[in-house]
Amino acid sequence: MEKAINRQRILLDHLRPSSSSDHAHDSHLSASACSAGDSAAYQRNSVFGDDVVIVAAYRTALCKSKRGNFKDTFADDLLAPVLKAVIEKTNLNPSEIGDIVVGTVLAPGSQRASECRMASFYAGIPETVPVRTVNRQCSSGLQAVADVAAAIKAGFYDIGIGAGLESMTVNPMAWDGDVNPKVKIFEQAQNCLLPMGVTSENVAHRFSVTRKEQDEAAVDSHRKAAAATAAGKFRDEIIPVATKKPIVVSVDDGIRPNTTVADLGRLKAVFKKDGTTTAGNSSQVSDGAGAVLLMRRSVAMQKGLPILGVFRSFAAVGVDPAIMGVGPAAAIPAAVKLAGLELEDIDLFEINEAFASQFVYCRKKLGLDPEKINVNGGAMAIGHPLGATGARCVATLLHEMKRRGRDSRFGVISMCIGTGMGAAAVFERGDCVDGLCNAKKIDSQNLLSKDAK
- Name the CA radius of gyration of the chain, rounded: 22
As a whole number of angstroms, the distance between CA 255 and CA 240 comes to 17
CA angle 340-342-345, nearest 5°? 105
Catalytic residue among 116, 138, 362, 432: 138
Catalytic residue among 384, 393, 399, 432: 384
**Residue 304 zone, left/alpha/beta (φ > 0; ψ -120 to 50; rest):** left
CA angle 423-323-220, nearest 5°? 70
- Side chain identity, residue 185: I
Q: Is 416 a catalytic residue?
A: yes
* Whether the Cβ atoms of residue 312 and residue 416 lie closer than 8 Å to each other: no
- Side chain identity, residue 160: G
Q: Is 63 a catalytic residue?
A: no
Q: Is 222 a catalytic residue?
A: no
CA angle 425-93-152, nearest 5°? 30
- Side chain identity, residue 71: K
- The three-class DSSP label of residue 19 is coil
Residue 304's CB: how many other CB atoms inside 10 A?
A: 7
Catalytic residue among 34, 63, 116, 416: 416
Q: Which positions are catalytic?
A: 138, 384, 416
